[in-house]
Structure 1
Amino acid sequence: MGRAEERRARQRGGRRAAPKRRRSPGAPGKSGIRRLFTWKKILGTFFGLCLLGMGAFVVLYMMIGIPKGNADAELQSNVYKYSDGSLLARAGDRNREIVDLAEVPKPVQKTFVAAENKTFYKDAGVDLKGTARGLLNTVTGKGAQGGSTITQQYVKNYYLTQEQTVSRKLKELVISLKLDREKSKDYILAGYINTSYYGRGAYGIQAAAQAYYHVDAKDLTVEQGAYLAALLQAPNQYDWAIASDTGKKLVKARWNYVLDNMVEEGWLNKSERQAMKFEEPEEPKADPSMGGQTGYLVKAANAALEKQLVAQGAAEDSKQAGALVDQGGWTLTLNIDKKKQAALEKSVKQQLDSKLDPRKRKVDADVQAGAASVNPKTGAVVAMYGGRDYLKHYVNNATRPDYQPASTFKPVILAAALEGDAETQDGTPIRANTIYDGTSKRPVVDDGTKVGFAPENEDDADYGKVTVQTAMNKSINSVFAQMGVDVGMPEVMKVAGELGMNTEGLEAVPAQTLGTMGASPLEMAGVYATLDNHGRKVTPTLLKSVEHNTRAVTVPDAIGDQVISREAADSVTSVLTGVVDDGTAQRSVRNNPQRDGQQVAGKTGTSDDNLSAWFTGYTPGLVTSVGLFGEDDKPPYKHVPMYKAAGEPRINGGDFPALIWAAYTFGVMGDTSKFDLDTKQGAAVQPTWTPTPTREPTKEPTKEPTTEEPSSSSPPPTTEEPSSSPPASPSTTPPTFTPPTAPETTPPDDGGDPFDPIKPGEED
């Protein structure tokens, strides 16, 4: 060690400096990122942002004052137009009468607090967690989430707008805090119950009391108040007059929730609560200007607009969307064709109403008609029949989904079979000429095992061995039940959903082959329109355009993607022409003098106990679904049978529904046209002829001849195309043929068994 080094060592306390370590090239060390993001810096940034946010909020609090009531109080009417621009209706005047809180019984006041904001009397007017969640959802585009206090909801209703923006939510927060400091809780509660929307066009508790219970607010009971309070969560969904079974269950559950909360808060005696029963609201009093079909069309247009407002994010939910629509200022042009609408109404009146006489037969008062007509090329709903009169029957029969479509579901099963190249239990591809056993109550089999389902054919008729075409013509339940299992019920329900049916929550079980789910004429028109449109999805669309001075609403495209192949869709259409020409619809449609050679496809349907009867049919340019529904004409409006209505033993789909369809369609269709089909199967591509039977059809069903059908001991059937040449002259027995030694062929005419005419009562 040199002298200089020793001196430096002594200066450092006698210790020699340790030599610097050399870091190996791969050894870790403090990187630039670690030096930049230290805990101190992160915490400092966090607290800095918090202070900045607090400062910004203080500035907002100082800048934002309590404004005057918004312009929603000066509401405009909504204007509704036909597709040609002519006026359909003008509606939307605000139905509101402000009442003092003192006029509302105190227990009824508490029902609203129990429903919406139990801490109302204690909080500062805001729910910070709920507001923060709402702000985050708005920023991220996730939509709405609950959590607003009564004060915040009142501020939104009265001082602000319903727009979904961060600035609006921040204003709502500030104004709510200030309002809670400057006004009493009674003032805020009165404002809330007087400005809220309750459905049925009613704003405020007085209008709601009249709309739902036909009493003044001062006369409301706790039970009634609890319903009105529950209603605010979803006015349209919870309106008892139009609610689905699910909606009724939900509003009852919320009614119980309100009353239980009142007990919990000490506002209601437990014994009184236990004695309370749900009180169903009265039927609505409709606006006189909404009479006839007008009210149905206006309500359906409003519902379509509300759905689109939610879809576009302009409203958080159906409740808020309904409030936006009822604020007015909308011009809605519908796809409804004025001439077709009038023709559909006339057809129902002439073909059905003129035959009904409730004075002679009580059951005639229970028959309700509904219909929807759709252009398959555009998806436009060109005509709709909702019922006899909106002022007398509030529920729209064209859109109600609570009746079974019955055998009008059978084409969906065939579509699933053809789309999935399904096979029978014997491995035979399912085609229009594939042979099935049409014996009534024949147990359905899956891989050699009975599945516990053996449906009865209409009138328990046995048909023996028949082609799929014949089974569709005669609507044979046993055939399509087996076909559904052959295809696989999950696949059937999947195709049903793709075609446009609402299959959510439905079990994929064989019983669904009978069309036991609920469906509306509008829904079934959409399914058949997709078939008519060669498998490309058609969503029936009522709105043509929507205009508003401050909002933009885009009408979605009604034509979607290819959901099943063109060949599958066209094959179903081809088969359905046989239902008209040789099946259950021939009496009403095939022989109609107005038909003028028009090619038609369609399917009849009649549900169990004759609760509903359908005909859904189409030409290349128009699809219409007509349903007749048995409904008691007095509360509680239960489903009832239609036996002996209009003097008929039973109302079948081939009767009044098909007659209404034919009179309407053939009157408005214009020039006749043929289907452009990409298929080699079905009645549309098979020669057809009309036999002259030697025996009169009887009311009692008879079994089909079996001596000429392939025997049960024959080899498995194939889908080999039958001969294209019909017999030279029809006779009273089907032509015989000699099966080849290989797999057997089908009977010569794939359009059905022409020498066994359709008899009354053979339709399902």
Structure 2
Amino acid sequence: MKTFFIVLLVGALVAALGVIVAYNAISIPNANAAYEKETSFVYYRGGKDELGRYIADSQDRDSLPYDEIPQLMKDAAVAAEDRTFWDNSGIDVKGILRALVNNNTGGTQSGASTITQQYVKNLYLTQERTYTRKVKEAVISLKISRQKSKEDILAGYLNTIYFGRGAYGVQAASNAYFGKPAAKINLREAAALAAILNDPNDLDPSNGEESISELDGRYRYVINSMVKMGMVDAAEGDKAKESLPKFKKPRSDSRYGGQKGHALKLVRDELLRLEDEQGNPLVTEDEINGGGLRITTTLTKKTMRTVEEAVNDVRPEDKKAYVGEKGDPKDALHVGAATVDVKTGALRGFYGGQDFLESQTNWAATGAMAGSTMKAFTMAAALDAGYSLKDSWNGNSPMEFPGIKVRNSGQSASDPYGHSYGAQVSSLTAMEKSINTAFVEMSDSLPDKSKDVYKMAVAAGLPPEKADPKHPGIGMTTRDFSAEDFLLTLGKNRTSPINMANAYATIANRGVHNDVHVVSKVVDANGAVIYERDDSEKGRRAMDEDVADDTSYSLQQVVSQGTGQAAGAVVQPAAGKTGTATNADDNVSSAWFVGYTPQLATAVAYTRGDGDDALDGWLDTFFGADYPADTWVKIMGPLTDQLDYEEFPPPAWLDGEAPESGHAPYVPPAEPEPEPTKEPEPSKEPEPSKEPEPSETPTPTEPTDPPTIDPSDIPTAPSTEPGPGGPEGPGGGGGGENDGGGRGPG
């Protein structure tokens, strides 16, 4: 017996020595990076409604300080997982011994642990169930208990533990299971979450009746434990046990579904472009994904919904197939649309096309050939150079320029070269009817020709030919956009609806440009504001106020009596421009309508396949005045109906010194003045008349035939009926890549 006690004592001493050695040898490692990351949240304008989130390593986590975790949740977790939490040293000796026995006898690997041990396992170690890991867990738990308060440990535990449904931490779990923040959960919901902690994968009630039954048993255990520990009274506990709380259906992995993925991509791209005051990147990719940022955007729920509904209402039913459904890109009709705040450049909403999960191409940010929408910048450049709205241009078709033949729309068998409007049409008429030949002549009459059009377009908001990090726009840099392009005014360059809406917003804003943007505020995980855009600041002047007002007036005439009359259906005053463009095969590849009210600017573009495939012969109508304009009305009507009515400023009627002669306003020849008639001489007093003598009645005769007249001798008046593409028809088309005379209507 004496020998037994000696052996036992030696064994205890060796064990104690082993614990001391282990305690000194094992240090607290660095925390697992994934468990220190927090989900970054993205909000609609105003910062209340969630738009989406960036999740690091598929771990949806939103950490809360101890004081913001509901007491009910803290009590339920302790009652469910570690009743001695507030008194123990951080380890469960029985659990360690049980794990040791099971691991050495082939029994089931288990590890009933304290909350501290679970926290250590999640934050510092792996999930393997081995003796070595269990020893490390115990030693680190002892050390953590000495270094941190119980409150910090419990908060860390509730912020890192996995609750199922992709949710790490109580805040994410509360949203995942109940659709509300943790601060609003009740006793039943807190107890249910604490119960689910025991086995998140099997106790999720969405798994079926068996899981619900098992969850109910664990749920009752948690409630009973809370009653025994005096956390709730018996009556309250009995009432809570009557039923489980009502759970929210688990969401499918739709974090990027629909338009949400396109929006989150735009936000991410802009965040990575932002710089702090020292010119350093504001945030990194890792901080976006796991930095716990709170990002408020300029997008509104109403605008996003309205734009999407408008597109779905207007585009033809038989052209809604996505590329992925039929496999042939030419079977896909793409619609890109975007709405921008005129006064600030804030992107309020957009439609990027197909579901983001189907394709990551955002047609609101990618766009298509601009067509005749570029004529607005030619007009502004001409007014800036000294021309006026009344100056005249050649509207006949075709017209020969150096090495290029340009024609108007309205081609037909009898009029193969497009409709001619006369040798002298005013700038206003050229815009109303979208006359290609007049605008090419206008561009060619500028001091620096197409370079002036290019400069004006870039100043207004189109991204330049070469990327400019200071003014990048949103989405792709404008492609095929060259200051040397003689036919730039006809728009074979590609640009996006987002950037085109922003450029037209500059005109509506009387020439003041604000960079289009989608991020308005960024708050870090500690609650500090690290970025906030001040929309009260004025932008930079892109064109003189009078130039903008006159350009705007010309675009108002397009709506009131030109090719864009469909846009007049909105309540607010409207201005805008239709546009089509032709591809290398002389087929129409895009149809546009870009317009604005005094408050909002919206651009809509219809394209097919990869953006260059033919619309004519495939779509029943490819006029910008049809589907694009109708979509524009469906967007702008609901968005502006409730806004205060605003008028556009009147035109300035600029009349500067034209840089080139020969374009003076057309003055019709004056009618010759009639020769003055002589005043009649006063007559003498009339002599009294004699009584008339009665005459004999003549004998009636047969009527004679009227004289014969040769019809060729009768002069004919000129016809007043409009010809193809005339006043009643579509205006000029966008620029084709071959001869620039695009046959599609403008």
> Structure 2 length normalisation: TM-score?
0.52
Aligned ranges 1:671-750 → 2 under 5 Å: 671=643, 673-681=645-653, 716-719=662-665, 738=670
Q: CA deviation at 1:357?
A: 5.6
Q: Which residue pairs with 2:435 in the alignment?
A: 476
1:560-606 deviation per Cα after TM superposition (whole angstroms, max 9, x unaligned): 122211000010000001111221111x323x3xx34x311001111
Q: Which residue pairs with 2:81 in the alignment?
A: none
Sort the Cα spacing of 1:357 and 1:71 in 2 relative to 1 into closer, same or farther, 3 A.
closer
Residue pair 1:343, 1:667 contacting (<8 A) in 2 also:
yes
Q: CA deviation at 1:89?
A: 3.5
Q: CA deviation at 1:479?
A: 1.3
Sort the Cα spacing of 1:676 and 1:90 in 2 relative to 1 into closer, same or farther, 3 A.
closer
Q: Does 1:643 align with 2:616?
A: yes
Q: Distance in 2 between matches of 1:631 and 1:79?
A: 34
Q: CA deviation at 1:310?
A: 7.6
Q: Does 1:604 align with 2:578?
A: yes
Q: Distance in 1 between matches of 2:278 and 2:32?
A: 24
1:522 to 492, 498, 519: 498
Sort the Cα spacing of 1:514 and 1:69 in 2 relative to 1 into closer, same or farther, 3 A.
farther
- SS of 2:615's partner is coil
Residue pair 2:523, 2:529 contacting (<8 A) in 1 also:
yes
Q: CA deviation at 1:627?
A: 1.0
Q: CA deviation at 1:618?
A: 0.4
1:379 to 332, 335, 345: 345
- SS of 2:603's partner is strand
Sort the Cα spacing of 1:718 and 1:392 in 2 relative to 1 into closer, same or farther, 3 A.
same
Sort the Cα spacing of 1:658 and 1:457 in 2 relative to 1 into closer, same or farther, 3 A.
same
1:351 to 314, 329, 334: 314
- SS of 1:454's partner is strand
Q: Which residue pairs with 1:369 in the alignment?
A: 335
Amino acid at match of 2:559: V
Amino acid at match of 2:574: V
Q: CA deviation at 1:759?
A: 4.2
Residue pair 2:34, 2:57 contacting (<8 A) in 1 also:
no
Q: Distance in 2 between matches of 1:311 and 1:508?
A: 37
Q: CA deviation at 1:639?
A: 3.2
Q: Distance in 2 between matches of 1:657 and 1:477?
A: 20
Sort the Cα spacing of 1:755 and 1:443 in 2 relative to 1 into closer, same or farther, 3 A.
closer
- SS of 1:498's partner is helix
Aligned ranges 1:417-566 → 2 under 5 Å: 417-421=382-386, 430-444=387-401, 450=402, 452-458=403-409, 459=411, 460-463=417-420, 464-465=422-423, 466-487=425-446, 488=448, 489-505=450-466, 506-549=482-525, 552-557=529-534, 559-566=538-545
Sort the Cα spacing of 1:311 and 1:419 in 2 relative to 1 into closer, same or farther, 3 A.
farther
Q: Which residue pairs with 1:415 in the alignment?
A: 380
Q: Does 1:628 align with 2:601?
A: no
1:287-334 deviation per Cα after TM superposition (whole angstroms, max 9, x unaligned): 532111111111111111111148863439xxx833432234111111
Q: Does 1:763 align with 2:724?
A: no
Q: Distance in 1 between matches of 2:49 and 2:599?
A: 26
1:64-106 deviation per Cα after TM superposition (whole angstroms, max 9, x unaligned): x999478466321121111133333443223489xxxxxxxxx
1:509-546 deviation per Cα after TM superposition (whole angstroms, max 9, x unaligned): 31212112221111111111110100011211211211
Residue pair 1:92, 1:328 contacting (<8 A) in 2 also:
no
Q: Distance in 1 between matches of 2:607 and 2:287?
A: 33
Residue pair 2:52, 2:260 contacting (<8 A) in 1 also:
no
Aligned ranges 1:145-160 → 2 under 5 Å: none
1:673-700 deviation per Cα after TM superposition (whole angstroms, max 9, x unaligned): 3433252449xxxxxxxxxxxxxxxxxx
2:38 to 76, 101, 117: 76
Larger radius of gyration: 2
Q: Distance in 2 between matches of 1:411 and 1:663?
A: 23
Amino acid at match of 1:85: G
Sort the Cα spacing of 1:483 and 1:641 in 2 relative to 1 into closer, same or farther, 3 A.
same
Residue pair 1:474, 1:583 contacting (<8 A) in 2 also:
yes
Residue pair 1:357, 1:364 contacting (<8 A) in 2 also:
no
Sort the Cα spacing of 1:501 and 1:93 in 2 relative to 1 into closer, same or farther, 3 A.
same
Q: Distance in 2 between matches of 1:557 and 1:658?
A: 33
Q: Distance in 1 between matches of 2:567 and 2:577?
A: 11
Q: Does 1:619 align with 2:570?
A: no
Q: Distance in 2 between matches of 1:652 and 1:582?
A: 16
Residue pair 1:616, 1:624 contacting (<8 A) in 2 also:
yes
Consecutive unaligned residues in structure 2, runs of 5 or more: 1-26, 60-251, 412-416, 467-481, 655-660, 674-723, 732-742
1:720-751 deviation per Cα after TM superposition (whole angstroms, max 9, x unaligned): 8x8xxxxxxxxxxxxx863899xxxxxxxxxx
Aligned ranges 1:117-266 → 2 under 5 Å: none
Name the % identity. 27
Matched positions, count: 426
Amino acid at match of 2:728: P
Q: Distance in 1 between matches of 2:30 and 2:671?
A: 89
Aligned ranges 1:662-673 → 2 under 5 Å: 662-669=633-640, 670-671=642-643, 673=645
Root mean square deviation of aligned Cα: 3.5
- SS of 1:315's partner is coil
Q: Distance in 1 between matches of 2:436 and 2:257?
A: 41
Q: Distance in 1 between matches of 2:669 and 2:398?
A: 29
- SS of 2:530's partner is coil
Residue pair 2:346, 2:517 contacting (<8 A) in 1 also:
yes
Q: CA deviation at 1:453?
A: 3.0
Residue pair 2:521, 2:529 contacting (<8 A) in 1 also:
no
Residue pair 1:584, 1:762 contacting (<8 A) in 2 also:
no
Amino acid at match of 1:603: K
Q: Distance in 1 between matches of 2:314 and 2:330?
A: 14
Sort the Cα spacing of 1:509 and 1:557 in 2 relative to 1 into closer, same or farther, 3 A.
farther
Q: Distance in 1 between matches of 2:489 and 2:601?
A: 23
Q: Distance in 2 between matches of 1:473 and 1:288?
A: 45
Amino acid at match of 1:493: Y
- SS of 1:663's partner is helix
1:102-139 deviation per Cα after TM superposition (whole angstroms, max 9, x unaligned): xxxxxxxxxxxxxxxxxxxxxxxxxxxxxxxxxxxxxx
Q: Distance in 1 between matches of 2:370 and 2:487?
A: 13
Amino acid at match of 1:679: P
Q: Distance in 2 between matches of 1:645 and 1:296?
A: 28
2:295 to 309, 332, 338: 332
Q: Which residue pairs with 1:170 in the alignment?
A: none
Amino acid at match of 2:302: K
Q: Distance in 1 between matches of 2:461 and 2:555?
A: 18
Q: Does 1:577 align with 2:556?
A: yes
Residue pair 1:584, 1:654 contacting (<8 A) in 2 also:
yes
Q: Distance in 2 between matches of 1:96 and 1:78?
A: 12
1:144-174 deviation per Cα after TM superposition (whole angstroms, max 9, x unaligned): xxxxxxxxxxxxxxxxxxxxxxxxxxxxxxx
- SS of 1:305's partner is helix
- SS of 2:335's partner is strand
> Structure 1 length normalisation: TM-score?
0.51
- SS of 1:502's partner is coil
